[in-house]
Structure 1
Amino acid sequence: MYICYTSTMCILVILVVELRFYMNRGIQMPRQNPFTPMFGGKPQHFFGRSLELNIVKHAIADGNSPYRVIFVTGNRGCGKTALLEQFSITAREAGWTTVDVHSAHASEDIVRRLAGADQRTVERVAAHEAFGLSAGHVGISESNRYDGRALTDVLVAASEKRKRGGVFITVDEAQKIPESDMENICAAVQMTLRKGFPVMLVLAGLCGAKEKISSYKGCTFMQRAYDIRLGSLGVDEARSAFAGMLDLTGFVTCGEEELEYLCACSYGYPYLIQLLGYYLVEAAGVSHPRGHTAVTKGLVDEADLSARVDFRANVIEPSVGDFGPGMTAYLEAIVDGVGEDGRSSTGGAARAIGKSAQQCAPYRARLIERGTIVPAGYGYVRLNIPHLRSYFTEEDTGKLSDDGARIWNY
């Protein structure tokens, strides 16, 4: 008790000294920006996705839940990695062992994590072949080698030893997992579930990742995985995210009209929310170094310009930059044909590039699979990435070469 009290007093003294340092010099205390536009990282504050979180909570609590194997898909910047982290936190708080790995060497890393929990290494020891048949057994050794083929034995063994909870596995960037690695994971999870042990597997990847993995010879099991397809947040979730995060700054206030405008500029897209919020708070701090700052449409527009440059570079260009000339021309025609209702005619796009609808059917299917467009009624589609229309119709002002040309008049 005395130690705890002393530590608390020391922290308070440090805070008071720091406050006096800034006040005596007339310096404004550093302002906190709660928005985290770090791509693929863990945000400071998580927002939205209450439905998806409840699905995982239900699966953890109910051993008969159909949500024990989940596949999360979506475009870049929709919050897949952040959601995976929240899933793991939820499982850990429920007393489950969590194993979070990336696509590279996924099955090997899972073995390492589960075996390492007991300070032991599990390796597959091949037995001698006899009569054309091979057998094997699992041995415990001090070797530093971790063989992904031992995953089934390790996962079952880890599940058997647990008195409460289960094993919760997440794999990010699932579209990059090699076929043999994915087969190891599927076989292990399927066998562990068959034995009646509590285990959950959650994969996350770009649009089309589930279809790709389910086509692997040993992974048809994944066809039955529950789909979570991420996109933009709902209007209420986006509004709540902005209001709550701006309140955390302690100096930025936002009226209802400005809040609605901010939400509209973000399209409810998680990465755009982080970008817009970050640049808005930074701009507010510069315009009013002291005291509170009220959000204006001008500040939002200023933040939006910076956010668009980052979004273009980190989301749009990686999403469409590898398309061939034919598919790019077809997508541009779809963009040009977007009407007031937000839909575009696929037949009109085909005619615009001098092809038949049948000839363009593979382009349409591929764009839908990649999550670039979504069906919107017979013969129509909608764009599925924010600012995609402006990407093809506006000048890219975010490149240094453009700035140099304007400044130096090449």
Structure 2
Amino acid sequence: MNNPFTLSFGLEPASYIAREQQTNQVIHSFTGDPSPSHLYMISGIRGAGKTVFLSELEDYFRTEEWIVYDLSIETDLLRSFAAKLYNDERLYRLFIGAKINLSFLGLGVEIQGASPISDLGTAIERMLAIVKKQGKKVLISIDEAINSVYMRQFASEFQIILRNHYPVYLLMTGLYENLYNLQNEKTLTFLYRAPKINLDPLNAAAVTLSYQKIFHNSIEDARKMAALTKGYSYAYQVVGYLCWNMNIHTVTDELISQFDRYMDEYVYAKIWSELSPVKRDVLNAMAGTSSGSVKEIRQSIGMSTQEFSVYRSRLVQQGIIQANGYGRLTFTLPRFKFFIQNQVY
């Protein structure tokens, strides 16, 4: 049997702990009659499992009733959506029959007797009207959304699509700060009202049972392995991957050493590089305390209560730290404190 765990981001591994409650939340919302929402924004830190969660939902909706399109954030999203829709083999003949001429936009052939459509938004709505008439629904997924020109253009058009009651649904994943910046655009305030899912740590009991099932170890050893991950999705994969390759089924010093190396190389260095200097100062001060006392952290970097509150809130929302009782903070990422303590400034 091959290693059921993977270190590759975005690939659904053989061993995967589903987030059933959050998955069902989206499914029930999109399939309701009427649908209470046509949009979900899914946030989480790198390695939280956003892409795999998105893929799971895409697979669920790939049915006769639904048409699923995965758009790349690096492309012109509106044009990409229009092209995928127009060239879909399930719909193409219907569009030709309706004399939808997109030759001016470079998306189709010239149709005799049909004036070419010059506006991309108009072209999309003409096609969606036919999709609606056929009783089908469209799901669009965008992974790792950012506040770019193409994303803002797409979101603005999606808002118009919603107002015109077309059966189109949107799933967006992204880092908290990227989604926050996007919804903060003055013309995209409707995103503030969109339901949001933050991918919290995996259930400890589920992680424990998964390890026990795969490694056939004791509940005590499985719990130790689960505790090392702290529920972080990528850490769950790393611990499982290493234990499988090392042929061990409990936490050892060698496992911890390898775990630190892999987490540094594959995810922590990237997370650290994307933090502002001030956030790094806060986390470095936090790693230098044994108590996690907010007062001690704040005073060590000479920061006012009000200023510190802003950065603490952002780091909590990013999924890097969490409150642990009144006036104390802890790291949510496994052995991230050790990682910080070994950084060279």
- State the TM-score, normalizing by the size of structure 2: 0.83
Higher relative contact order (CA 8 A, sep 6+): 2
Question: What count of residue pairs does the alignment treat as equivalent?
Answer: 327
Deviation at 1:220, TM superposition (A): 1.1
CA 1:149–1:305 in 2, change beyond 3 Å: closer, same or farther? farther
Aligned amino acid, residue 36 of structure 1: T
1:62 corresponds to:
32
1:217 corresponds to:
186
Deviation at 1:185, TM superposition (A): 2.3
1:191 pairs with one of 139, 155, 160: 160
Aligned amino acid, residue 127 of structure 2: A
Alpha-carbon RMSD across the aligned residues, in angstroms, is 3.0
CA 1:259–1:221 in 2, change beyond 3 Å: closer, same or farther? same
Deviation at 1:354, TM superposition (A): 3.2
Identity %: 24
Alignment map for 1:271-286 (pairs within 5 Å): 271-284=234-247
CA contact (8 A) 2:141 2:171 kept: yes
1:268 corresponds to:
231
Alignment map for 1:90-239 (pairs within 5 Å): 90-93=60-63, 95-105=65-75, 106-117=77-88, 118=91, 139-141=101-103, 144=106, 150-151=120-121, 153-154=123-124, 157-158=127-128, 160-162=130-132, 163-175=134-146, 177-178=147-148, 180-239=149-208
1:348 pairs with one of 263, 279, 296: 296
CA contact (8 A) 1:111 1:148 kept: no
Alignment map for 1:27-66 (pairs within 5 Å): 31-66=1-36
Residues 186-216 of structure 1, C-alpha deviation per residue, up to 9 Å, x if partnerless? 2333333333332211100012222211112
2:288 corresponds to:
336
Aligned amino acid, residue 296 of structure 2: G
CA contact (8 A) 1:148 1:181 kept: no
Deviation at 1:353, TM superposition (A): 2.1
Deviation at 1:152, TM superposition (A): 6.0
Deviation at 1:159, TM superposition (A): 5.2
Residues 85-143 of structure 1, C-alpha deviation per residue, up to 9 Å, x if partnerless? 011011113631001122112333222211221559x9xxxxxxxxxxxxxxx842286
Q: Does 1:242 align with 2:188?
A: no
Distance in 2, matches of 1:174 and 1:149, equals: 24
Distance in 1, matches of 2:65 and 2:84, equals: 17
CA contact (8 A) 2:225 2:250 kept: no
Distance in 2, matches of 1:66 and 1:76, equals: 29
CA contact (8 A) 1:73 1:204 kept: yes
Q: Does 1:306 align with 2:254?
A: no
Distance in 2, matches of 1:308 and 1:151, equals: 49
CA 1:54–1:350 in 2, change beyond 3 Å: closer, same or farther? same
CA 1:358–1:275 in 2, change beyond 3 Å: closer, same or farther? same
Distance in 1, matches of 2:46 and 2:122, equals: 32
Distance in 1, matches of 2:150 and 2:121, equals: 10
Distance in 2, matches of 1:390 and 1:36, equals: 24
State the secondary structure of the residue aligned to 1:218.
helix
Instruction: List gaps (5 residues or longer) in structure 1.
Output: 1-30, 123-137, 247-251, 285-293, 397-410
State the secondary structure of the residue aligned to 2:179.
helix
Aligned amino acid, residue 184 of structure 1: Q
Deviation at 1:74, TM superposition (A): 0.5
Structure having the higher Rg: 1
